[in-house]
Amino acid sequence: MDSLQAEQAAREKAAFWDGVRISAPTMPGLVAWGAVTGMVLVQSGLSLWQAIVMTLMVYAGSAQLAVLPLIVAGAPVWLIFLTALLVNFRFIIFSAVVGPHFSHLHWTRRLWYGYFNADLVMAFFPQRFPQHTLSKPTGKLGYFMGLAMPTWCSWQLGSLIGILLASQIPREWGIGFAGTLVLLGLTIPLIVNRATLAGVIVASGVAVAASGLPYRFGLVVAMLAGIAASVTIDRITGSATDQERGKS
Amino acid sequence: MSVIDYLWLMVLMALTTAVTRSFFFLLADSRMPPWLQHALGYVPAIALAAIIAPDLLMSGGQLAINPSNAKLLAGIAATIFFLLTRHLISTLAFGMAVFTLLRLFAPAL
């Protein structure tokens, strides 16, 4: 290996551990969240092996929960597939935040990395690599995997705990609330200006109002409304985000 | 559902995860229009807020902005705690403690 390659590898490795360090505090919340999902899988009628295979392969909590009644009722495979697809629709918006940074990779690798682009990864990644760093690939893969691997591991660990201990964790403990608290702690520092605050308020309101929509479409509607609110406030006040003001 | 059918279904479901999550990994170009790049900058905060808002503000499928909503109270307490400490794990512990105490000792409030 020549020295340039070695240097690059070292930089990716350092970025990986940066990612692990910054996402580590979220793990207890993710484990708790996974545990709740795992418990429901078993309690709704999946067998042990069915629940474990689903968790390890599908890696999408809401979709897993949404298809449970269909599987238990013996619904046709295409209907279950379609339901999962619709519930996962919101991930498309997540992918727009991180995906463009990896447009230089071969498509099979983009598909592989994309699979791991969960909510938390999407929340952390742009804090280190905002949109104006699109053309600079250094450290991104390492950092991405440093966020994605602990996220995958803690979610799966939690899910397996939930599946195996399903009957031993009382539901009224509300341990899933730990996941909400972690996301709350991640959201607050992201609210850096009035435009973001407006988007957060509008998205929260719409998410509540539209929570009855099927396939978690309420989340999609809420996100679109929130983005529209942020951009509008931006236009009115003429303020850009701090990052953009500083660097471009 | 037979074992083979179930495994096929899991493959299909994993595909829905992979395809939606990697959608703009596969399609995007690094030369996005500036307005879109700018708008995407708001997505993380907005998406997280949209995920947590129903859990905090609703109870049993109904809007519950009132003092008997233990999650809302614990969420407010956790927010104040986080703003003061900026520490995620202790905020998580604090929020769960407040939530659990409210649940156990003030179920009707």
Distance (Å) of CA B90 to CA A3, A26, A182, B78, B81: 43, 11, 10, 9, 9
CB–CB contact A60 B45 (8 Å): no
Is the pLDDT confidence value at A248 over 50? no
Across A89-109, average pLDDT:
93
Confidence of residue A237 (pLDDT cuts 50, 70, 90): confident
Q: Is the pLDDT of residue A243 over 50?
A: no
- The reported pLDDT for the residue numbered A242 is 45
Average pLDDT over residues A145-166: 96
Give the pLDDT confidence of A51-81 residue by residue, as tens digits: 999 999 999 999 999 999 999 999 999 999 9
Q: Over 80: is that where the pLDDT of A85 sits?
A: yes
Dump pLDDT digits (tens) for A125-138. Answer: 999 999 888 888 88
Cα distance between residue B30 and residue A102, in whole Å: 8
**Residue B108 pLDDT:** 55
**What average pLDDT does the structure give for chain A?**
91
Nearest to A177 among B31, B53, B71 (CB): B71
| Interchain proximity B54–A223, CB inside 8 Å | no
What is the distance in angstroms between the Cα of A150 and the nearest Cα belonging to chain B? 16
For residues A145-156, give the mean pLDDT.
97
Q: Which candidate, B5, B12, B98, B36, places its Cα nearest to that of A96?
A: B36
Q: Which amino acid is at A126?
A: P
Range in A7-11, A53-57, A141-145 with the lowest mean pLDDT:
A7-11
Whether A70 has its CB under 8 Å from any CB of chain B: the answer is no
Q: Rounded mean pLDDT of B8-24?
A: 96
- Indicate if ipTM > 0.90: yes
B43 CA: distance to closest CA in chain A (Å): 7
User: How many degrees, rounded to 5, is the angle at CA A160 between CA A70 and CA A67?
Assistant: 10
Which of B12, B25, B30, B82 to mutate to probe the A interface, most A CBs <10 Å? B25
Spatial distance between the Cα atoms of A153 and A143, rounded to a whole number of angstroms: 16
* Phi/psi at A36 (5° precision): -60, -45
Measure the CA–CA gap between A46 and B11, rounded to whole angstroms.
17
- Measured between CB atoms, does A65 come within 8 Å of chain B? no
Q: Is the pLDDT of residue B58 over 70?
A: yes
pLDDT digits (tens, 9 = 90+) for A100-110: 999 889 999 99
- Partner-chain residue, chosen from B6, B18, B52, that has the shortest CB–CB distance to A180: B52
Cβ atoms < 10 Å from Cβ of A109: 14
Put simply, the answer to whether A188 touches B12 (Cβ < 8 Å) is no
Portion 215-244 of A in contact with B at CB < 8 A: 218-219, 222-223, 226-227, 230-231, 234, 240-241, 243-244
- Mean pLDDT, residues B93-107 taken together: 91
> Over the stretch A34-47, which tens digit does the pLDDT of each residue have?
999 999 999 888 99
